[in-house]
Amino acid sequence: MTDFTLTDRTMAEPKQFDVGCTIEVSHTFDSLHAHVTLDGDVKIRPGDEVIVHGEPIKVPYGEVQTFRRIATVKRAGWLEQLWTRVTGRAEFMELLEFSFSERTKL
């Protein structure tokens, strides 16, 4: 059964708040990625936005670096959550569209 619960937000929770975060950036031969971990027990739900503040991060090739920043979490309303869930499922189904075909030489 699909869970269509749109929010578990309490009425006292603000629509937007700042929180500390740790950013790990890897720029190596094996990996090019950035991961953001929010401090505390902040749960990100469908439609929520996370904006990380501060100077642009530049990591030289071959290095992995960690940074501390402040992030603003903007909570999505129930309509945004619903829209994100519906469109997200549709986009996921597009990823599942594939075919098996024989390789042919021209």
Distance in angstroms (rounded) separating the CA atoms of residues 48 and 69: 19
How many residues are given for the chain? 106
Question: Residues 42-94: pLDDT tens digits?
Answer: 999 888 999 999 999 999 999 999 999 999 999 988 888 888 888 877 766 56
Predicted confidence at residue 63, as pLDDT, reads 97
Q: Which residues contact 77 (CB under 8 A, 6 or more apart)?
A: 47
For the stretch 13-55, pLDDT in tens is 679 999 999 999 999 999 999 999 999 989 998 889 999 999 9
